[in-house]
Amino acid sequence: MPSSEHRPARFTLAWPALLATVLLLIILLGAYTLIESRRLQRELGRELEDRAVALIDILEASSKNAIASNALLEEAVAQRLLDNARFIDFFVARSPRAQELIRRVVTENRLAKAELLDPEGHPIPPSRLEASLGPGHRGPGAPEMPAQPPGFPFPGQQPRTMMGWMMSPRAGSEPHAPEDRRTPGVPFMWGHRWGADRGDPASLFPSLPTHARIRRFWEGSAFGVAIPAQSFTGIIAIHADAEYLLNFRKEIGVQRLIEDLGRQSGVAAVALLDRDLSVLASSDAAAVSRREDDPFLREAWQARTLKGRRRTLPDGRDVYEVVKPFALDAKQVGLVRLDLGTEGLSGVSRQAQRGILFYSLGLLFVGIGGAVAIFWIQARHLAERRALEAAMAREQRLSAVGNLAAGVAHEIRNPLNAISIGLQRLRKEFAPSEFESRDEYLRFTEIMRAEVGRLNTIVDRFLALARPSRFTLTEEPLATVLEELLALLSSQATAQKIQVVTDLALGEAKVRMDRQQLTHAFMNVFLNAIQAMPDGGTLTARAYQDSGGRRQKAEGSETRGRSVLPTADRLLPSVVIEVEDTGPGIPPEHLDRIFEPYFTTKEGGTGLGLALAHKIIQDHDGSIRVEGGVGEGATFVVTLPVVGAA
C-alpha cells in the first residue's frame, strides 16, 4: 500500500552492478573449482604412480629373493643327492647285495628313487651287480674301512666328487683302468632352474656314453643327479622327490608371491614375463604361458627402464599399468608388470570433487548473499539519504513559508484586533433603536465578529506552525486520551452514518505528553477521517504496543520547531495508533504533500489541520505517516515513545 514521505524510504537495488558482481563470483569460483579439481587429479595420479613404483620395486626385490631361495634349494638338493649317490656307491663297494640298504636310503632321505645303471643306461639287476664289480671288491667279511677324514666316502677326491664328475673311459681302455688313464667328464644334472633352462641334458654332456644318451634315463624325473660309480662299471642316478620341490616352490616361489600380491586391495593383476613376452607367473593362473603381443611391453623391454600408462582391461576396468625390466646377475631376463585398479582412486577423486563443489557452492551462496546484502544496505542507505535530503528540503520550504506566514499573520493580527474592537463598539454604542433594524444590525455584526474570530484562529494556527511549541509534559495513559476523544466525536460520526470500530490494546502504556496539544493533534486526524466519508463508512481506531518499532533520534537532532531526521538512530519500544477510514482514498501524487501547510483537497479547508498534527506529534518525539490509494481508503499511522524507554 503506498504511503507518504514519512513512511520507510523506498529503495531499489542496482541490479546491473549486482548481476555483474554475481557473475564475477561465479566465474572466479568456477575457475577455482576447475583448477582445484585438476590439481587433485594430478596429486592422486602421482600418488597412484608412486604406489605402483613402490609395489613393483618390492615385487622385483621379493622375486629376486624367491629365485635366489629356489636356486639355493636346488643347489642344496643337488648336493644332498650327490652325497646320497656317493653313500650308495660306498656301500655297493662293500656288498653287492645292498638293495635293502638302497631302499632304506631312498625312504629316509625322501628320494623318488635311486638307480644303478650300466654304461648303456639300463638298470643293473642284483645278479649282474656282483659280476660287474672289479677286482678290488672287498666282499662280505672284508675288514672295516677306517674312519675317513672330511670328504667321505672318497678321501682326497672331495672337490671332484662334490662337483659330480662323470668319468668316461678312453677308447680301448679297461673299465677299471687307473685313474690317470680316465678322461674327466662334466657334471651331469637335470631339471629346470627358474630363469635358466638347462636345455636337453644329452646335448649339454657330450661325454655321456652313446647308449646312455639314447636310453635317456633322466626323462620323467623333475630333478636329479648322476655320478660315475667307483664300485662298478656304470652310473648311479638319484632322482629327487618332485612333490617336495614343488611344495617348496609353492611356499616361497615367485608364483606364490605374485598370487599373494594379486590378492591385495587395489591390485588388478601382476605378471612376470620372459624375454619373449611369455607369461612365466601371473596372479591370473589362466594367463600363465600366454604370450603377450603388446608394443608397449616391447618398448619397455628395449628401453630397459620403468614405464607406465593408463589402460582399460578387457573386462572394462580402468587400471594404471607399470612395467619394469627384470634382471638376474646383471642380465635382463624378463619384465615385471603390475596393474593397479583406479576404482578406489576414482572414488576418492569423486568424493574430493564433491567436497570442492560443495565448498565452492557454499562460497558462491555466501558471496551472492553478501553481495545482495551489501547492495541492499547501500541502496537502503542511499534511499534514506535521498529521503533525508527531500525531508530537509521540505522542512526548509516549510520553514520559509512558516516564517513568511508568521510575519503576515503578525501583521494581520493587529488590524484584526482593531476590527474586533470596532465591531464590539458598533454593537454596543451604535446599534439602531428601531426593533427590526436593530435585530438585523446585530445579526450582521455578529456574523462579522464570527468571521473575524475565524480569521484570528487561522492566524493562531499560522503562528503555531512557525514558532516553537511550549509544552507542559505529563505522563498519562494514552488509552484514556483516545477513549475520551472518540467518545466526544461519536455523535458527529453517528450523524454522518459512520460506524466507529475501536481496538485499543494499550493497557497501561503511558506517554509523556502535553495532553491538550496531543488531543488537538489526534482531533485533527480523526476529523480528517470523518470528513473523508461524507456519505458514511467505517472509522477504525486501532492501537497496540510495539517492542522495537520506533527509531530514537540521535543526540543533537531537533525535536521542536522544524523536524530534522537523525543521522544515527536505534529501535525503542513504542505505541502505534492506526486511524483507518473507508473514504475515496488519496491519489499517489498527493501522498507526499499531505502534511504540507495549506495543502488541501477539501472545499473550504485551510490545509493546516494535518500539518499542525504532524508538528505536534513530531514535537512529542513521534512520527506520523499515511498509507492508501485511490479507492482503498486511507490509514494514518502514529508512533509515540512509551514512558521508560531508554
Comparing CA positions, the residue from 231, 242, 235, 243 lying closest to residue 215 is 235
Mean pLDDT for back-to-back runs of 10 residues, the chain (646 residues): 44 71 82 80 76 79 75 77 85 74 84 82 73 50 36 33 33 39 47 49 55 54 77 82 62 70 80 81 78 84 82 80 79 80 70 78 82 82 82 73 69 75 76 71 80 77 64 88 90 90 88 89 91 90 77 39 38 86 87 79 74 87 87 90 70
Q: What span, in angstroms and rounded, lies between the C-alpha atoms of 453 and 539?
A: 31
Residue 169 has what pLDDT? 35
Q: Note the CATH number of domain 470-641.
A: 3.30.565.10
Looking up cell 477513549 gives 483
Question: Packing angle between helix 15-94 and helix 242-252, nearest 10 degrees?
Answer: 150
Residue 393 has what pLDDT? 79
Domain ranges of the chain: 71-240, 253-341, 353-467, 470-641
DSSP state of 286: G
pTM metric for this prediction: 0.40
Q: What span, in angstroms and rounded, lies between the C-alpha atoms of 444 and 430?
A: 13
> Residue 506, SS3?
coil
Burial class of residue 536, CB neighbours in 10 A (0-12, 13-18, 19+):
exposed
Contacts of 99 (CB under 8 A, 6+ apart): 126
Comparing CA positions, the residue from 322, 225, 214 lying closest to residue 268 is 322
Q: What span, in angstroms and rounded, lies between the C-alpha atoms of 298 and 619?
A: 99
- Contact assessment for residue 486 and residue 500, using Cβ atoms and an 8 Å cutoff: yes
The domain made up of 253-341 has a fold known as Beta-Lactamase (3.30.450)
Residue 465 has what pLDDT? 62
In this chain, the answer to whether the domains covering 353-467 and 470-641 adopt an identical fold is: no
Looking up cell 563470483 gives 25
Looking up cell 479547508 gives 605
Residues in a beta bridge with 232? 133
From residue 293, give the alpha-carbon distance in Å to each of 270, 279, 471, 634. 17, 11, 109, 93
Sort strands 623-628 and 634-641 into parallel, antiparallel or unpaired.
Answer: antiparallel
- CATH 2.40.128 holds for 353-467: no
Comparing CA positions, the residue from 278, 279, 283 lying closest to residue 266 is 283
Residue 253 has what pLDDT? 64
How much of the chain is in helix, strand and coil states, percent to nearest 5? Answer: 50, 20, 30
Q: Which long-range contacts (CB under 8 A, 24 or more apart) does 417-422 make?
A: 419/452, 420/449, 420/452, 420/453, 420/456
